[in-house]
Amino acid sequence: MALIIKYIIAGLVRYWLIHIDYWQTIANRVEIATPLNSWKRLVEGVFLYDHNINPYEGDAFHESPIMLIFFHYLMKNVPYLLPLLFTTLDLLTAYLLFKTSKSFIKIFMESQAKNKCEVAEESYKLLLIESELEESAEYVLSTYLFNPYSILNCAGMTTTVIQNVLVAASLWGASTGHAILACAFVALATHQALYPILLIVPIAILLADVNKGCNKCSYIKTLLAFVLCWGFFIYISAYIMDGSYNYVYNTYGFILTVPDLKPNIGLFWYFFTEMFEHFRLLFVCAFQINALALYIVPLTLRFRKEPVLLATVLIALSTIFRSYPCIGDVGFYLALLPMWKHLFKFMQQKFIVGCAFIITSALGPTVWHLWIYSGSANANFFFGVTLSFATAQIFLITDLLFAYIKREFTLKHGSSRRIDDKPAILLLR
Amino acid sequence: MALRFISVLSIVFIGVFCDEFIEELFIKPLPPTHLYSYFQFITTSTADELFLHSHLSPRSIGEVISRFQVEELHLTLTEGQWRHDQWGYPVFDAAPGAELYAWFNPRVKNIDKEWRRLSATLSGLFCASLNFIDNFNTITPQMALWPSGSMHSNVNATTFLRYASLPREIVCTENLTPWKKLLPCESVKGFSALLNSRMIHNTNYHSIGIHVRKVCTKDNCTDTYVEIKQTVALVYDYKIINTNNWSFRYLFGQGLPGACPLASSSKIYVDVSSNDTYPFHLSPTPDTIVTSYRGGSDIKLAIYNISMSTEMINIGAKYNSKYQIQLNMPPPLHFSRHILGYGKEFGGIVTEVVNNYWTDIDVVVLENAPWWLPIQLSSLRVNGEAKSKLVIAQYYSPGRSRQKPYHLELLLKLPPRSTTTITIDFEFVFLKWQEYPPDANHGFYIGAAIINANLPTARNYTSQPISGVTYDSIINASQPWYPALFRTNGAMVSLPTPDFSMPYNVICLACTVVALAFGPLHNICTKELVLKPSGTSLSLIQKISKMFNK
Amino acid sequence: MFSVHVRLCCILVVVVCVTRSVGVQLPEQFQKSNHTNNWAVLVDTSRFWFNYRHVANVLSIYRSVKRLGIPDSQIILMISDDMACNPRNPRPATIFNNAHEQINVYGDDVEVDYRGYEVSVENFIRLLTGRVPPETPRSKQLLTDEGSNILIYLTGHGGDGFLKFQDSEEVTSQELADALEQMWQKRRYNEIFFIIDTCQASSMYEKFYSPNILATASSLVGEDSLSHHVDAAIGVYIIDRYTYYVLEFLEKVYPDSQKTMSEFLAVCPKSACLSTVGVRRDLFKRDPSNVPITDFFGSVRPVVITTEPIDILDIPKRKKTEHQNKTKVLEKRVYLPQFPMHLVKSST
């Protein structure tokens, strides 16, 4: 019952925000809408498509053709349902995350049971208790439903809402062992925004773990299914655009080469505004590798046994380092964090990170107004805020990982920090 | 003496090559406060296609035309804004700054390449920055521009058209100097001697132009000759010349030293229609006064035939009464354009077109937004409606950053006595720091919109019919429609700017943040946790205190 | 003037070509210039109205070299901003050298080759080294050869080792020296006379290492170059001291004057300029006191007149256009309506 009330309240808030007078302001905020996901550009793209102008000829539209015809159909036939659709999809995301976290909890319990023999006696009290974990699933739900980032994202009707549904669905598919479902959704999300391609690794591991059996066969099967799905979506998109693959330049090309330098909450915009033209390509490559490829191999090797943690961290890192991040992406990975409630007591920078989130969220719009509207600040102010926001997120993620290895260590060796009764400290070596 | 000799020679050559040079000056008082003077120097040439021989026609222009296979060319360099609602219509309207458009021969394979070469060549010829014309500011108008010369009958002319305008271009003596050198008499004799740089740049509006087209020799139009028309349009403010009793001395700083000896005709036309309401006295008395009935309006033209006299001719007007308040009849169609919005995030362009006439007027409105000002077609509103009945046809070519401008054309039917408002929204673009000009905070200019109107009346209309070469072709030239090409005023926006002194700082800071993630993640992935006795290593504070204790 | 009534009257311009020998001291009588043509590159690098004086500077030199005979086609004039037709200029289309409006240095006959945003470091270096984009018109190219004497005049805001362009970028003395060396290696000049009027001007020529360059600067390193006086009518300084005195000197020079470069180099004593005029002679092989000023500022060349008939055997014949072109294909042409009538009609 409480759950249903939560859904209703969250849904009403979203639906109401879409219908208030300030909706335009919300939908146009730089923190919420990027050139990639903004509602305005979606409308423009659909409008051009409707007028028989190829939306990929110009610079206005960067969604995939599948999204184009999906929204073209909706806007032509049921435009009044769109606010409802966005609200429902966001609630669906919350529901899927709730379901996913429940399955993840099962996975946690299983793996804990498997490794129980290695746990030091004094650390038994650290072990996970089912009831506490049940609670954390509800926290996941509440975080997604009532996080202002998620609410504003939905209210701005950005296509990140769709992306979140797709990613949540693929995670849910992976956690319950539906390989095809997981692959199809992650392929669709990849087709839309490219960065979810990272998720195929944790999903492959998860599927192998959940479905048991031949690990390598499972990995290969998952990868194959993903590649096939993705290829299929690319082909379908080209089919929609009358066999032309030119849309790729406006979707993946746009994400990868970062031609639009409109400010957002990420690191790219000011960096590439101020970049020297000679080094542009080098740094674009460096930054995209940082977002797409750099961390995936080492983290996979290190957290092979913890695909859920791997998934969380990869989602978060790709959000921080992607070319056009928005707070909808941030809201999504923040909702995954309550699953790691048991790590919180090992985290050291909770307070700093929390304060940084609050301060930057308040300062961002303020300095933006000062810069763009009142002309009394300049770009450096907003850049400073986005920089601190990114730093806070990085601290959050690295702190989470440190907390995890500390807990792992403590479970194995007990919580006493002493060697032969002499005080000792934990060090990385 | 030498000139006389040249002129005799020229007459001989004219017989052979049929080059002809005509100079004309049209003066129209724009009561109560302004005066419009319009020079046109027409050179016609039947030279062969390669322009190996030219005689009176400027060889440099001929070479440009033959080299780049240009069918028709219009280049104007303009400073100031023509006020259509107060001044009526000019003979040739021009966009503020530089404006260039040309039709190429259908044989040209790579039009964009030839277009760039053409603009680069003209930039050298006229000392203007036309070499800034590139694909990112060039459009191909579909409905607004039509060739005024004859065109191949079986091809679609718009395919071979390119249009670009540089609204920031300044116009000064360095543009006039090479322009004058194209004339056969340069500025020694003839009407061009009146074009004194100091005087013509002291006007409210000045525009120099060159218009090249191909005119049919016969009615069946199987053969053509090239017409090169060099124009100067000036609008004087009586306040600047300190008197409303104008004369050549006041306007141009000197009298007219006779006609150019190479000209086959040198005529001055003074529009004396306003004499009825706002009487003035012309001196010396004109040779003839002609009344022209055209499209429901009649105008009186005083015509002077200028001969090769040696004495200075100083045509002037003296107003009988000192000052009168005059109400102008507004022209049938006028328009204005402005920018909406505040801040540097979103804005809109508004174009208002007013139809004062009692019937419908069909117009084509061409909006041309640079790539850094992306307009959204979905936000287009005509009189506040997304789907207006006034729009008969529409063409839109979306822009692409750093490659292609946004280009919108609307064919509208303006209802009688109405104001039509066309609004479209845009978003400001954030450029790379090296893309900003040195004076980034000066603002960015947006080119004028083009309005092509099919006027049902010739009220305030001064343009020549396309079949006419000389200015007297306007006399009694009634047609069913009077096509008119107008430019609205340009506009200016200020784009948001980054801090230009920050590149190193920003690169360092952003890379530091990336490193903040890389460092810990690298540690986590490559190292393992161990317990170490805390006595062995000293903390930083301990180290420092130890250092001081020494 | 002279006129000879011969059937074949030829004026032959014989250019005394002395093979260039680097490093060998030439005897006095050979110290004649062996240049065949003169070019001038005159650059004003400052934008904005308060830099009016720099435009006046560069136009002063332009006026002088044009008056002394270098044609417009061989003068590359770069002006960063429009002062003459600037709305703030109360006297449109004029730029004066002093407040009493003595000389309108802008004149009625001026051709600016690079203007506004075109004046950039890249365009300047490209112009010097000749590495211009393929479509560049001739008037924007420095088409010099190994017989060209080039006058380079720069004015703007500078510092120790750099010269600012339009307040947004700068050229360093090393870059400039390398560009000149590239010109030398490409045989793009015979001799260069380099003048610079900026603050700390001499720092710009200190890095030069190519031969045959005579350089002078309005001030030494550590000194500012000062402006001459304010014109109350325009509200800004009207010209810089150094160039003011240079113009005063050049106004007295005529194409047949016997004035020498050493007189030019002494044109602005410290009492007048308030800064020390720097000169660098070591790269220049001739003695400036034997070099006529018209070697750089004018276009006066040694001319040998002969009345002997000369047979020119190989007259390059103009290619005859093939007759096939003459038989024109008659193309039917029409005047098109000036308005899309077909669209209007179809709708009604």
Query: Inter-chain contact C332–B364, Cβ cutoff 8 Å?
Result: no
B219 touches chain A (CB under 8 A): no
Contacts (Cβ under 8 Å, ≥6 apart) of A296? A198, A201, A314
pLDDT of B377-388, one tens digit each?
A: 999 999 998 888
CATH class of B330-550: mainly beta
Best of B172, B215, B219 to mutate (most C CBs within 10 Å, chain C): B172
Element (H, E) at C265: helix C261-265
Per run of 10 residues, the mean pLDDT along chain A (length 429 residues) is 90 93 90 92 93 90 92 92 93 94 88 81 76 85 93 93 94 90 93 92 90 84 92 93 90 92 92 92 93 91 90 94 93 92 89 94 94 91 94 94 89 76 75
- Within 8 A of A48 by CB-CB distance, chain B residues are 377-378, 396, 398
For A373, the closest of B343, B400, B527 (CB atoms) is B343
> So what's the ipTM on this one?
0.91
Q: In angstroms, how far is CA A332 from the centroid of its own chain?
A: 5
Distance CA C9, CA A398 (A): 93
- Within 8 A of B513 by CB-CB distance, chain A residues are 267, 387, 390-391, 394
Question: Judged by CB atoms within 8 Å, which residues 332-361 of B form the interface with A?
Answer: 342-346
In a 3-state reduction of DSSP, which class is residue B513? helix
Active site residues of C: 157, 199
pLDDT over 60 at B77, yes or no: yes
Angle at C138 between CA C136 and CA C143, to 5 degrees: 110
- Block residue for tokens 């080469």: A257
Query: Inter-chain contact B430–A294, Cβ cutoff 8 Å?
Result: no
Predicted TM-score of the model (pTM): 0.89
B515 touches chain A (CB under 8 A): no
Query: Inter-chain contact C117–B437, Cβ cutoff 8 Å?
Result: yes
Distance CA B198, CA A189 (A): 67
For C111, the closest of B169, B178, B483 (CB atoms) is B178
Cβ contact B–A (≥3 pairs, < 8 Å): yes
Asked if residue A324 lies in contact with residue A36, where contact means CB atoms within 8 angstroms, the answer is yes
Closest-CA residue in chain A for B496?
A372
Name the CA dihedral angle for B375, B377, B378, B384, rounded to a multiple of 10 degrees: 90
Question: For chain A, which residues make up each domain, given as ranges?
Answer: 2-335
The Cα of A391 is separated from the nearest Cα of chain B by a number of Å equal to: 6
Query: Inter-chain contact B171–C85, Cβ cutoff 8 Å?
Result: yes
- Looking at residue C189, its pLDDT comes to 93
Distance CA C258, CA C290 (A): 10
Question: Judged by CB atoms within 8 Å, which residues 71-110 of A form the interface with B?
Answer: none
For C113, the closest of B127, B148, B171 (CB atoms) is B127
Strands C191-197 and C148-155, bridge-based pairing = parallel
Element (H, E) at C76: strand C75-79
CATH class of C33-297: alpha beta
Query: Inter-chain contact C344–B392, Cβ cutoff 8 Å?
Result: yes
Asked if residue B222 lies in contact with residue C333, where contact means CB atoms within 8 angstroms, the answer is yes
Asked if residue C214 lies in contact with residue C173, where contact means CB atoms within 8 angstroms, the answer is no
Query: Inter-chain contact A298–B525, Cβ cutoff 8 Å?
Result: yes
- Within 8 A of B341 by CB-CB distance, chain A residues are none
Burial B373-402 (b: 16+ CB within 10 A, else e): bbbbbbbbbbeeeeeeebbbbbbbbbbbbb
Question: In this complex, which chains have at least 3 CB pairs below 8 Å with chain B?
Answer: A, C
In a 3-state reduction of DSSP, which class is residue B163? strand
For B398, the closest of A46, A60, A262 (CB atoms) is A60
In a 3-state reduction of DSSP, which class is residue B368? strand
- Looking at residue C17, its pLDDT comes to 34
For B173, the closest of C84, C118, C166 (CB atoms) is C84
For B150, the closest of C118, C168, C334 (CB atoms) is C334
pLDDT of B155-205, one tens digit each?
A: 888 999 999 999 999 999 999 999 999 999 888 888 999 998 888 898 999
- Specify the DSSP class assigned to residue A373: I
Structure tokens at C187: 């045989």
In a 3-state reduction of DSSP, which class is residue C3? coil
Best of A76, A273, A396, A404 to mutate (most B CBs within 10 Å, chain B): A273
- Block residue for tokens 């590798």: A289
The pLDDT tens digits along chain C (348 residues) read 344 443 333 333 333 333 333 444 444 444 566 788 999 999 999 999 999 999 999 999 999 999 998 999 999 999 999 899 998 998 888 999 888 888 888 888 899 999 999 999 999 999 999 999 988 999 999 999 988 999 999 999 999 999 999 988 999 999 999 999 999 999 999 999 999 999 999 999 999 999 999 999 999 999 999 999 898 888 999 999 999 999 999 999 988 888 889 999 999 889 988 999 999 999 998 888 888 898 899 887 667 778 888 777 776 666 655 555 555 566 788 888 888 888 886 544
- Within 8 A of B439 by CB-CB distance, chain C residues are 47-48, 166
Query: Inter-chain contact B170–C339, Cβ cutoff 8 Å?
Result: no
Asked if residue A218 lies in contact with residue A204, where contact means CB atoms within 8 angstroms, the answer is yes
B516 touches chain A (CB under 8 A): yes
B436 touches chain A (CB under 8 A): no
Question: Judged by CB atoms within 8 Å, which residues 531-550 of B form the interface with A?
Answer: 531-535
Strands (E), B388-487: 391-397, 406-414, 418-427, 444-446, 450-455, 482-487
Best of A29, A250, A274 to mutate (most B CBs within 10 Å, chain B): A274
Q: Where in chain B is the domain with CATH 2.60.40.1170?
A: 330-550
